[in-house]
Structure 1
Amino acid sequence: MIIGIGVDVVQVSRFQEQLAKAPGLRERLFTPAERQLNLRSLAARFAAKEAIAKALGAPAGMNWQHCQIDVDAAGAPHVVATGTVADVADAKGVKRWHLSLSHDGDVATAMVVAEG
């Protein structure tokens, strides 16, 4: 059963400007492992986190440190939800996440399906 879907698009150059204006933003949005990634990968992960929030109904109080976008040995992205994000997902009955990331030129995008 589909619990929710979400999609988000990020303009990489605008995202870069926001990170430059608010240096603490990188620490607030991304886990320590994610912070080491290049700008386009960060933009795609931000889009993924926004898409995850949309799939969950955009509830208040979720901490982005509790949502990491990781990759498996084959390079496929997947959601690692802990803390506040896992709590909301569990309450909604999410058992599995399906995630697709893409970036091309100045655009990064993510699509997520929360499955129960």
Structure 2
Amino acid sequence: MLGLGHDVVDVAAFAEQLGEPGSRGKLLFSARELRQAAARAKAKHDDEATHLAAKWAGKEAVLKAWCEALGDRPNPYTLDDFPWGLLEILDDSRSRPHVVLAPACDATLQESLGARDSLRWHVSLSHDGPVASAVVLLVSDVRA
């Protein structure tokens, strides 16, 4: 294990921020993430913001796991310049979440960690009432 990240999001506050006039909150998500959140909300008869809040918690947990994995190495991003749109939290065909990094973001991750082995992300998302949360592990497939 290289890094562990956890994040919690207040769903109501997050929904309020998304709904503010002129909000750019949805720009933090890819078109695929927005489509999946809308589809899941429709299927579950709840609010799209609930599912986006869980995806946002996942994105923040990815950043935290990455930062932990860096140790004393320099961080290539700050919260202000992290390429949120290049990091997706998507569900597979069985509704299991996974992390998808755009090639440029993945290359930066590999370079920042000096990775020689394959890196894998594990992500768990949850929401219950007013809270959405995520736990993320970054692991290396070390070859003997």
Aligned residue for 2:9? 10
Please say if residues 124 and 135 of structure 2, whose CA atoms lie closer than 8 Å, have aligned partners that are also in contact. yes
Q: Secondary structure at the match of 2:133?
A: strand
Please say if residues 9 and 57 of structure 2, whose CA atoms lie closer than 8 Å, have aligned partners that are also in contact. yes
CA–CA distance in structure 1, aligned partners of residues 86 and 103 of structure 2? 5
Aligned residue for 1:24? 24
User: Taking structure 2 as the reference length, what is the TM-score of the superposition?
Assistant: 0.72
Q: Which runs of 5+ in 1 are unaligned?
A: none
Please say if residues 62 and 85 of structure 1, whose CA atoms lie closer than 8 Å, have aligned partners that are also in contact. no
Structure 1 stretches of at least 4 aligned residues deviating more than 3 Å after TM superposition: none
Q: Secondary structure at the match of 2:4?
A: strand
Percent identity among equivalent residues?
37
Q: 1:88 aligns with which of 85, 94, 108?
A: 108
Letter in 2 for 1:107: V
1:114 is aligned to 2:134:
no
Q: 1:103 aligns with which of 127, 132, 144?
A: 127
Aligned residue for 2:40? none
Please say if residues 77 and 100 of structure 1, whose CA atoms lie closer than 8 Å, have aligned partners that are also in contact. yes
Letter in 2 for 1:48: G
Letter in 2 for 1:108: A
CA–CA distance in structure 2, aligned partners of residues 56 and 87 of structure 1? 13
CA–CA distance in structure 1, aligned partners of residues 121 and 24 of structure 2? 28
Deviation of the 1:70 alpha carbon? 1.0
In the comparison of the two structures, how many residue pairs are matched? 114
Deviation of the 1:84 alpha carbon? 4.7
Letter in 2 for 1:81: L
CA–CA distance in structure 1, aligned partners of residues 88 and 10 of structure 2? 20
Q: Which runs of 5+ in 2 are unaligned?
A: 38-47, 68-74
- Give 1 or 2: higher strand fraction: 1
CA RMSD of aligned residues (A): 1.6
Q: 1:43 aligns with which of 48, 53, 66?
A: 53
User: Taking structure 1 as the reference length, what is the TM-score of the superposition?
Assistant: 0.88
Q: 1:70 to 1:33 in 2, by over 3 A?
A: same
